Structure 1
Amino acid sequence: MVLVGYHASHEQLPPSSLLAAVIRAESAGFDAAMCSDHLAPWGMRQGESGYAWSWLGAALASTSFSLGVVTAPGQRYHPVVTAQAIATLEEMFPGRFWAALGSGEAVNEHVTGDPWIPKDRRNARLRESVSVIRSLLAGEEVTHRGEIEVHRARLWSRPDASPPLLGAAVTPQTAAWAAGWAEGLATVAQPVEVLERVARAYTAAGGAGPRVLQVHVSLEDTDAAAVAVARDQWRHSAISGVSLWDVEQPEDFDALAGDPSDEQLRSGALISHDAQELADRIAALVALGFDRVYLHGIGTDQSAFLARAERDLLPALRRAL
């Protein structure tokens, strides 16, 4: 049975509103939730970015389902700090938390003033961070020198069991690499042929654990309204020919996105007025090899999205899966 979760986007809502939304998502029938962990939004129209770890504590205390986060240890977060945050949440809410670890994005990491290192070094830094985090969660004292440095670190408050640490990947190459250390895969919807390669690469490299797919959707009363929401909130997804991981400022994303066509906007999100049609498209993506799907309604009116999800989208999706 496929888990159907709700994605909470910190870049688009104030933390208080996002907390109300995740509480509502549980009552609407979602099985679980996950959230982003950004310091800055993707564009100026989004205009928010609360601190994910504080919010996660409140969200876990206010709901009964599981929550996960996609985060990047190594630059903005020292891995010892990430390990302590993970341990604290899992100790308070055992069995309800997971983290997907990625190599980061310049829009969040550049603020430290450290150089934005090439992808191969970011991967090396992430792999070292994962090793440090796991050792700390196991109760070890850790000293490490490499892409990161750790001096005699220990965690004093630890859970009885460590939560799953998944690998965040958007390319087949990264997915195959993550299979060597991750306890699951977390990725985002892309064109079918690309997404299929990502899922296949992880499995072929021996990857185990859950396969998590995040899907951006715009579901409105008309197609025109759904496209308008995507244009207002999610037009950065239409950027092509540029590595989004290397862009530093929301203003830069806006400039690169320009004024995309409706067709370009449709390449970055599933856009529809028809819940059944949208459910069928989501189910087709899930069928590529995923057992968890988290839906991100890309509009800022989450009350309307959640009401429509409860009434139309979730029933249609559960029939389609």
Structure 2
Amino acid sequence: MKTLIGYHSSLERFTPTEHLNNIKLAEANGFKGISCSDHFYPWSKRQGASIASWPWLGAAMAEVNLPFGVITSPVERCHPAIIAQYIATLASMYNGRLWVAFGSGQLLNEHITNQYWPVKSERNERLKEAVHIIRNLLQGKTVNHEGKYFQVYDTKLYTTPSIQPKLLIAALSKESAHELADCSDGIITVIKPKREQEEFVYAYQQGGGDKDSMYLQAIMSYHEDQKQAEYEAWYNWRHAVLGVKLQAEIRTPDDFDSAAESITIEQTNKVIRVSSDPKEHLEWLNEDISCGFSQIYIQDVSNDQAETIRMYGKLLKDQY
């Protein structure tokens, strides 16, 4: 099975119109899909954007004829029934072109409702319950659900898609991959050292996950000048050094900036793929494919998205 290579729109950065321009350029350069994340806040004040993913997706899917995916959390900021309605509307408009990945969320985005922030085990339980509600609503069922975390009564969607979208889970640890595999149609994760990634994939598959529906968000930075590529990765995305557990617990962009203040370029280089050499980016891509990922979405954290899109476009033309 040939791996789909897509482009990730980081809605925490740039304007909505700039993102539309980027995805049109990505389509023209051979990318085969688009993904984005559903954030309320950016990770840093330097990123500076607060774009709502759902209305942006409605416009973006009309601009380019590619499949789209969104990574969201249906457990706090938005009720699962509301998320189900968003999904049903987009999937009805663009049959067969939408997938959705559900994560347990980060305090950064979810604290705006001023509810208490659950521990990770509870967030995973909430996620399973939410996915169950969403799946039934998308199938046109009248849902009555008296759960531990959610209550839904006499609820039905009157607009449902003729083609059911894939409902994935977004997981970063092998423990969550194993625990959540049985409630999903697939999984999406981020880059890791190869041994850790292989353990992640194994845990997911042992949990009953579909080995043919594993997606990857590949975070990287490219510039023709190596030092500039390193600087831009550090400037825009150094919070990645904090690690996924801590990232889920920090409350505001100001807090992230404080926590990441002393992080160096050298530290950032260890967690983000940074290179001025297209051949090295190709090697990373082939390593990801060898781990079994069926779809890989390139997330560029440098400044010039067009430069990176064209560089990868040449790789895709020559190699894929």
TM-score, normalisation: structure 2: 0.95
Once the 2 structures are TM-superposed, how far is the Cα of residue 261 of structure 1 from its aligned partner? 2.6
- The 5 Å alignment of 1:1-321 reads 1-145=2-146, 146-208=148-210, 209-240=212-243, 243-311=246-314, 313-315=315-317, 318=319
Distance 2:285 2:132 in 1: 34
Distance 2:292 2:30 in 1: 23
Once the 2 structures are TM-superposed, how far is the Cα of residue 151 of structure 1 from its aligned partner? 2.2
Distance 1:104 1:169 in 2: 10
Distance 2:222 2:69 in 1: 24
**Structure 2 counterpart of 1:137, which letter?**
L
Once the 2 structures are TM-superposed, how far is the Cα of residue 143 of structure 1 from its aligned partner? 2.1
Q: Deviations over 1:7-33 (max 9, x none)?
A: 000001111111111111101110111
- Is the Cα contact below 8 Å between 1:37 and 1:52 reproduced in 2? yes
| CA separation of 1:63 and 1:270: change in aligned 2, threshold 3 A | same
**Structure 2 counterpart of 1:291, which letter?**
S
Larger CA deviation: 233-242 vs 168-177? 233-242
- Is the Cα contact below 8 Å between 1:11 and 1:50 reproduced in 2? yes
- Is the Cα contact below 8 Å between 2:172 and 2:244 reproduced in 1? no
Deviant stretches of 4+, over 4 Å: none
Q: Deviations over 1:116-136 (max 9, x none)?
A: 111111111111111100111
The total of aligned residue pairs comes to 317
Larger CA deviation: 241-250 vs 200-209? 241-250
% identical aligned pairs:
36
- Is the Cα contact below 8 Å between 1:125 and 1:147 reproduced in 2? yes
Once the 2 structures are TM-superposed, how far is the Cα of residue 241 of structure 1 from its aligned partner? 8.9
Distance 1:240 1:130 in 2: 26
Once the 2 structures are TM-superposed, how far is the Cα of residue 242 of structure 1 from its aligned partner? 5.5
- Runs of 5+ unmatched residues, structure 1: none
Once the 2 structures are TM-superposed, how far is the Cα of residue 141 of structure 1 from its aligned partner? 1.2
Distance 1:247 1:82 in 2: 24
SS of 1:22 mapped into structure 2: helix
SS of 2:128 mapped into structure 1: helix
- Is the Cα contact below 8 Å between 1:12 and 1:300 reproduced in 2? no
- Runs of 5+ unmatched residues, structure 2: none
Q: Deviations over 1:263-304 (max 9, x none)?
A: 311122110000011110221123112111110111232222
Once the 2 structures are TM-superposed, how far is the Cα of residue 240 of structure 1 from its aligned partner? 4.5
